Amino acid sequence: MEMAALIIGSGTLMDIVGIPVDSPMRAPAEQFLTLRAYGAPPVVVALAAQGAFRGFMDTKTPLYAVVAGNLVNAILDAIFIFPLGLGVSGAALATVTSEYLAAIILLWKLNNELVLFSWNVIGGDIIRYLKSGALLIARTIAVILPLWLSTSLAARQGPVPMAGYEISLQVWLTISLLNDALALAGQALLASEYAKGNYKQARLVLYRVLQIGGVTGLALAATLFLGFGYLTLLFTDDPAVLDVAQSGVWFVTITQPINAIAFVFDGLYYGVSDFGYAAYSTLFAGVVASAFLLVVAPNFGLGGVWAGLTLFMGLRAVAGFWR
């Protein structure tokens, strides 16, 4: 369903984001989105399989599968984009290929652990799963909404601001998601202790993971503050784009400790099946941050965009402490 929606609605989605037909970004963006759409099925399957391995407290198998996929992605990028001259389309094809590879590896390994296909459907479990899934879908929409808006606002400023913004955002996401590993580990450990009724040990896991997340966030912030300029040079040598990217250094740096705590809290919610609070708190943060972006960002440019995303992550961290 996702694949079909992305292929059929690629033009409409570009209109919603705010990229006009005559923009030099329009054609490459539509090409990329249409080809990337074919990767939707393996992405969904791979995410479900990773969740199953997490339930077995097996973090190695997903790691190997994702590393294999990313290596293939990097190699194919180097071949498709420049030597074969496929450009943005080559990047999309490389990514889709890597996603199918990762999904196949995960399913192959998961088949050794359980029966993947069975006609024995347990009604009560399906209903419970769908309820939790609906809450997490709402949470995902709440996460995507501010990112969608920020991308749209940056795109409306033209190709150069958009390129600089995207470099800063990719560095931010890449470094921030390192903290997601802490969340996954905390989720598995907390779920195990909580299910056994070892609440004292579960509380200790919670505190330790938060402490490690905070320290990791501060270390990443210091590293980025010192090395952000060198990282941006890996993306481009265009002075105008680099100037725009550098404008995001404070945002990328300051939010690292906040992101670390917010991501860790996500893992802790899931560890005790607190899906309702995870969804509603993120939805609140997403709506407030989106309103801020719509009101402030048009007047303050990328500075307003960075402020809106910082507000979003800050509210998520505050909601975690509140809980």
Helices (H), 81-177: 87-110, 123-155, 159-176
| pLDDT given at position 193 | 86
pLDDT of residue 132: 75
Q: What is the pLDDT of residue 189?
A: 83
SS (H, E, C) 257-310: HHHHHHHHHHHHHHHCCCHHHHHHHHHHHHHHHHHHHHHHHHHHHHHHHHHHHH
C-beta of residue 57 within 8 angstroms of C-beta of residue 195: no
pLDDT in tens, 143-154: 999 999 999 999
Q: What is the pLDDT of residues 240-259, one digit of tens each?
A: 999 999 989 999 999 999 99
pLDDT at residue 194 in the model: 85
pLDDT in tens, 252-285: 999 999 999 998 898 888 888 888 898 899 999 9
- At residue 137, the pLDDT reads 84
Note whether 95 and 102 are within 8 A (CB): no
Which long-range CB contacts under 8 A does 99-104 form with residues at least 24 apart? 99/39, 99/42, 99/43, 99/46, 99/69, 100/39, 100/42, 101/68, 101/69, 101/72, 102/42, 102/46, 102/65, 102/66, 102/68, 102/69, 103/41, 103/42, 103/43, 103/45, 103/46, 103/49, 104/42
